[in-house]
């Protein structure tokens, strides 16, 4: 694949040119896409981890009724492909979506104006839909190893729950947090099916598809794929080297 | 216990707040699934809620095929995908089990690297799809490309499932007693090690099968003609068919996942169920 991206000819792999990489660096169009991908991935990663931490906390510490059912529900989206996640968001936030209609009923505005499924907001929720369960997967494993004695000691010494969490629990789950960050950020960068249906933000993977679908510019697509691969590889490597994160999917 | 300070803000509202987030998340994740399933039996959905229960037209369209829009029936797609996924799983067993065994049992140079590479799916479907299109242009339109792609993409799950099974065994001791009783290395591996890891292998196979049957990104890039795999069928339904038909098509998929989850629970591998 990397070989193809340096190829001169369009339909056969021969010659050597950096034209397609030059294109990627010089053309502001691609720069915009790269920036889109990164900030959107970063934002969704941070939000989904922020949500996953309290959820994992509740699952680990509280006595909940129907805990195994909750666990099943929470891990179910892990096995759904991106297109289905997108469909779920249309069900919730589309023109006939349930939440759209509830909001419309309360605010008295037309549901069509309120539907956000195919806007960036809807895409944000769609990303969360597939990312929260993945973050949970790792965080629950981390929480299982948290030393509860230290937490109880902190509590009985007069720390508030928030202080206990901040100074006792958080340092213990830090490797898990970093691991979750790496995993979820990679997931965010790789999302393609969701974006193919909702199409509200031009990200790297969608552009790769467009390069092929419109004009079969496979050399450009390969160049983009190579860059993607290189970036994720380096990112994972650095994250694993400079932190003590334990990534085990 | 009674000496806890209960006056602070987080002591009074912290738990409620955390529970609220949990409940919201559960609703956010489960509500659309339920809605989709319910609405697939509805005749129309114009207001906030679907209406006109109980009709099987949508399911009929999906199962029998309509001749317009997403025109093939789910049966052929499901069978095709199931076949491809089975082939992928067979490859995964042949490759994944020895890798997991080697990593769990032996110490060798680059062991941790093999581990990282086996466990992290480095290239997502779309990237791998592009690689396939040009690396094997003749293969790319056939099912073989899909099989190879599925097995490559899902191998990590197999390695993980089998590895967790190996890690709970005392591999060295089992292997040494078997060898000292006169069994050859191959015989030890096939008749002692593998049966002991059966649970992990079965769980891994089920997970790989489901994920492969549902794989979209790779199929979308590579697939060009013939019977569409299940995920492409879903995509066609979501983009081209009426909303309720799409709901029925997605529900077929939900049922598949539910069956697999039950199958995993029967195998008794709780960890694998959670992971799925």
Number of domains making up chain B: 1
For an interface test with A, give the residue of B126, B163, B235 to mutate (most A CBs within 10 A). Answer: B126
Q: Does residue A192 lie in a domain region?
A: yes
Q: Does residue A248 lie in a domain region?
A: no
Q: Does residue B55 lie in a domain region?
A: no
In sequence order, what DSSP letters do the residues of chain A get, joined into one string? -HHHHT-SSSSS--S---HHHHHHHH-HHHHHHHHHHHHHHHHHHHHHHHHHHHHHHHHHHS--TTHHHHHHHHHGGGGS-HHHHHHHHHHHHSTT-HHHHHHHHHH---HHHH--TTSHHHHHHHHHHHHHHHHHHHHHHHHHT--HHHHHHHHHTT--HHHHIIIIIHHHHHHHHHHHHHHHHHHHHH--HHHHHH--S--HHHHHHHHHHTT--HHHHHHHHHHHHHHHHHHHHHHHHHS------
The string of pLDDT tens digits covering residues B22-31 is 888 888 877 7
Q: Residue B133: its chain A contacts at CB < 8 A? A: 212, 218
The string of pLDDT tens digits covering residues B176-216 is 787 788 777 777 777 777 777 777 788 778 777 777 777 77
Q: Does residue B263 lie in a domain region?
A: yes
Contact B48 A192 (CB under 8 A): no
Q: Domain residues for A16?
A: 2-242
Q: Does residue B129 lie in a domain region?
A: yes
Task: Compute the count of residue pairs across chains A and B with CB atoms less than 8 Å apart.
Answer: 197
Q: Does residue B239 lie in a domain region?
A: yes
Q: Does residue B68 lie in a domain region?
A: no
Number of domains making up chain A: 1
pLDDT score at A172: 78
Q: How far is CA A206 from CA A166, A213, A221, B182, in A?
A: 39, 10, 10, 58
Q: Residue A137: its chain B contacts at CB < 8 A? A: 274-275
Interface check for A216 against chain B (CB to CB < 8 A): the answer is no
pLDDT score at A197: 74
Give the model's confidence band at B48: pLDDT under 50 very low, under 70 low, under 90 confident, else very high.
low
Q: Does residue A108 lie in a domain region?
A: yes
Contact A51 B46 (CB under 8 A): no
**Which residues are paired to B51 by β-bridges?**
B44
Given B29, B133, B160, which is nearest A218 (Cβ)?
A: B133
Contact B234 A4 (CB under 8 A): no
Q: Which residue has the higher pLDDT, B137 or A220?
A: A220
The string of pLDDT tens digits covering residues B60-87 is 666 555 444 445 556 666 777 777 778 8
Nearest chain A Cα to B239, which residue?
A197
Q: Does residue B188 lie in a domain region?
A: yes
Q: Does residue A12 lie in a domain region?
A: yes
Q: Does residue A247 lie in a domain region?
A: no
Contact A1 B45 (CB under 8 A): no
pLDDT score at B102: 78
Q: What is the CATH number of the domain that holds A184?
A: 1.10.3720.10
pLDDT score at A1: 46
Q: Residue B250: its chain A contacts at CB < 8 A? A: 84, 87
Q: What is the CATH number of the domain that holds B106?
A: 1.10.3720.10
Contact A77 B29 (CB under 8 A): yes
Contact A51 B11 (CB under 8 A): no
pLDDT score at B1: 41
Mean pLDDT, rounded, for B127-142:
65
DSSP B192: I
Q: Domain residues for B202?
A: 73-275
pLDDT at B47 over 80: no
Q: Does residue B23 lie in a domain region?
A: no
ipTM of the complex: 0.70
Chain A, 145 to 184: residues with Cβ < 8 Å from chain B are 155-156, 158-163
Given B8, B134, B261, which is nearest A1 (Cβ)?
A: B134
pLDDT at B261 over 70: yes
pLDDT score at A9: 38
Q: Does residue B106 lie in a domain region?
A: yes
Q: Which residue has the higher pLDDT, B128 or A53?
A: A53
Contact A190 B126 (CB under 8 A): yes
Given A87, A92, A140, which is nearest B246 (Cβ)?
A: A87
The tens-digit pLDDT sequence of chain A (249 residues) is 444 444 443 444 445 566 666 666 667 777 778 888 888 888 888 888 888 888 888 887 777 777 777 877 777 777 777 777 777 777 777 766 677 767 766 766 666 666 666 677 778 888 888 888 888 877 877 777 777 787 778 878 877 777 777 777 777 777 778 878 887 888 787 777 777 777 767 777 777 777 776 666 677 777 777 777 778 777 777 776 665 545 443
């Amino acid at each position: 694949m990397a070989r193809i991206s340096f190829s001169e000819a369009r339909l056969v792999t021969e010659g050597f040119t950096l034209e397609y990489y030059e294109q990627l660096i010089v053309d502001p169009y691609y720069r915009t896409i790269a920036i889109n991908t990164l900030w959107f991935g970063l934002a969704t990663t941070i939000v989904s981890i922020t949500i996953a931490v309290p959820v994992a906390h509740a699952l680990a510490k509280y006595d909940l009724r129907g805990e195994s059912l909750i666990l099943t529900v929470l891990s179910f989206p892990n096995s759904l492909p991106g297109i289905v996640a997108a469909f779920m968001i249309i069900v919730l936030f589309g023109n006939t979506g349930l939440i759209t209609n509830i909001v419309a009923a309360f605010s008295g505005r037309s549901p069509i104006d309120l539907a956000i499924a195919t806007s960036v907001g809807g895409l944000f929720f769609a990303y969360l839909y597939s990312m929260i369960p993945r973050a949970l997967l790792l965080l629950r494993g981390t929480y299982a190893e948290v030393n509860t004695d230290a937490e109880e000691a902190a509590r009985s010494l007069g720390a508030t729950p928030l202080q206990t969490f901040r100074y006792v629990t958080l340092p213990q789950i830090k490797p898990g947090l970093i691991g979750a960050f790496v995993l979820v950020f990679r997931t965010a960068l790789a999302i393609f099916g969701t974006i193919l249906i909702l199409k509200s933000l031009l990200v790297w993977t969608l552009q790769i598809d467009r390069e092929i679908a419109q004009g079969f510019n496979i050399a450009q697509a390969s160049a983009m794929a190579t860059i993607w691969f290189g970036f994720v590889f380096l990112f994972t490597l650095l994250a694993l080297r400079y932190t003590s994160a334990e990534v085990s999917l | 216990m009674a000496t806890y300070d209960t006056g602070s803000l987080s002591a009074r509202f912290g738990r409620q707040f955390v529970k609220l987030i949990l409940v919201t998340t559960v609703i956010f994740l489960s509500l659309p699934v339920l809605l989709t399933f319910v609405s697939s039996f509805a005749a129309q959905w114009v207001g906030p809620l679907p209406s006109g229960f109980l009709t099987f037209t949508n399911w009929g369209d999906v199962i029998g095929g309509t001749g317009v829009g997403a025109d093939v029936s789910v049966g052929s797609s499901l069978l095709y995908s199931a076949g491809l996924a089975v082939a992928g799983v067979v490859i995964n067993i042949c490759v994944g089990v020895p890798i997991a065994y080697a990593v769990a049992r032996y110490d060798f140079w680059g062991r941790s690297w093999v581990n990282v590479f086996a466990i992290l799916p480095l290239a997502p479907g779309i990237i791998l799809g592009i690689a396939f299109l040009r690396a094997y242009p003749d293969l790319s339109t056939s099912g073989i490309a899909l099989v190879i792609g599925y097995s490559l993409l899902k191998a990590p799950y197999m390695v993980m499932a089998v590895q967790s099974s190996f890690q709970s065994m005392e591999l060295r001791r089992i292997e040494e007693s078997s060898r000292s009783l006169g069994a050859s290395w191959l015989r030890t591996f096939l008749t002692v090690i593998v049966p002991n890891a059966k649970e992990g292998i079965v769980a891994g196979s089920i997970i790989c099968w489901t994920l492969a049957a549902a794989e979209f990104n790779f199929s979308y890039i590579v697939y060009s003609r013939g019977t569409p795999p299940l995920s492409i069928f879903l995509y066609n339904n979501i983009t081209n068919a009426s909303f309720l038909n799409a709901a029925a098509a997605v529900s077929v998929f939900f049922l598949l996942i539910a069956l697999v989850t039950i199958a995993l629970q029967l195998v008794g591998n709780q960890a694998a169920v959670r992971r799925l």
